[in-house]
Chain A
Amino acid sequence: MLGDVLLITEKHENAAKEIVPYILKNKKDKFIIAISGESGSGKTELAHVIAKMLRKANIICKPIHIDNYYRILPLLRTEWRKKHGIQQSVGLSEYDWDTINKNIEDFRQNRVSTMPCVDLVTEQVDQLTTDFNGVDMIIIDGLYAINTPRVDLSIFIELTYHETKKAQIVRGKEPQNEYRMQVLEQEHQIVLTLRPKADLLINKEYQVVEA
């Protein structure tokens, strides 16, 4: 995403320090890591720190943000969700899984790939063309990232949106109101159903635990 603000802290670094050796031990060609967790739980921050540490170990790892793949553009999404009802619309089907899966296949096949890239300043979706040839790993982060088929390492962050409220206000990505709370509750319910897929859990103290 363009114009995203990450608030990276020691807890992300410490968690990454546990996770990276695990990745190095289990790595294979075209390795796919996925991180799921609720809004504000630090998915993108963790993905960033892991990718940075992997680079120091000479592994080229590209972060992919599932938030770039919403079918409905940011500016129209609130209206669309209100129109269709939060319970009915919020969830997995909001994402363009066809494109997500295509881009992941491009990665596996070392191809040049075009991916959506949301610019948070213009609130438009740009297109990003990248060459996956030479990219060793991808790290996919998003609410429902571990729902992606054929992920090699699934990480689940257990923090809920209640605990992450402060982080969400600080980063100022979304307005905090009644409607937002309803969306967060719905997302929370769906994210929870993905927990069983996890290989590694990050608990409320941000410690890494095997699932």
Chain B
Amino acid sequence: MLNDILLLNKKHENAAQTIYERVQDELTDKYIISISGEVETGKAEVAHMLGRLLRKEGIRVKLLHMDNYYKIAPLERTAWRKRHGIESVGYNEYDWEVINRNLKGFKEGKLTTIPCVDLFTGQIDQLTTNFEGIKVLIIEGLYSVKIEEANLKVFIESTYHDTLEEQKLSGKEELDDFRMQVLEREHKVVQSLKPLADFYLDFDTASEIFHY
């Protein structure tokens, strides 16, 4: 995304380190790591720190942010959701055709065009990038765990209740009644997808905690 602000701290670095330790011995070419979790749980921050870490290790890595793949542009989304009802909120809001096309571009090492939301203009720009030589793809987003071909599916164990402070700080969305309904709905959908993950991160200890 353009003009997004990341609030990075030590816990994101620790989480990235934990993920790296999990994957370092199995990083085959064209490896995909997905990072899922509820709103403002630190997905983009962890993705960023993991990207930095991999780069330091000499591994070529690119980040994709699923917030760029909504079918409806940011400024129109609230009105669209109100019109279609709260059940319209969920992973079908993503343009999976484009997501899959971009994943294919990565796998094939090709020149690929990716949507790129500018948070200031509210427009969706197009970013053309060359995936040739890029070994690892980190893809973060609410519902990124749905990407079947991801080699490692990371899930961040916090709920939107925990992250209300972060949400206020990021100032990305107004926390009004409707927004709270959206968050509750996203929370339900994200939690329902949780079993698809294979690696769970808890920020209290920044170490892996196995679900059941």
Contacts and interface: CB of A to CB of B under 8 A. Distances in A.
B28 interface: no
Given A60-B120, A127-B127, A128-B116, A48 B3 contact: yes
Given A121-B61, A122-B62, A6 B5 contact: yes
A195 interface: no
Interface in A104-122: 117, 119, 121-122
A78 interface: no
Interface residues of A, number: 27
B73 interface: no
B61 A130 contact: no
Interface size class of B (residues with CB under 8 A): 20 to 34
Contacts of B48: 3, 5, 121
A63 B120 contact: yes
A122 B116 CA distance: 16
Contacts of B127: 2, 117, 126-129
Given A62-B120, A119-B129, A134-B121, A5 B62 contact: no
Interface string B48-67: 10011001000011110000
- For the complex of A and B, 6 pairs with smallest distance between CB atoms: A126-B129, A129-B126, A130-B125, A127-B128, A121-B51, A51-B120
27 contacts: A2-B63, A2-B127, A3-B48, A3-B51, A5-B8, A48-B3, A48-B5, A51-B3, A51-B120, A60-B120, A62-B118, A62-B121, A63-B3, A117-B127, A121-B51, A121-B52, A121-B62, A122-B62, A126-B127, A127-B127, A128-B125, A128-B128, A129-B125, A129-B126, A129-B128, A130-B118, A130-B125
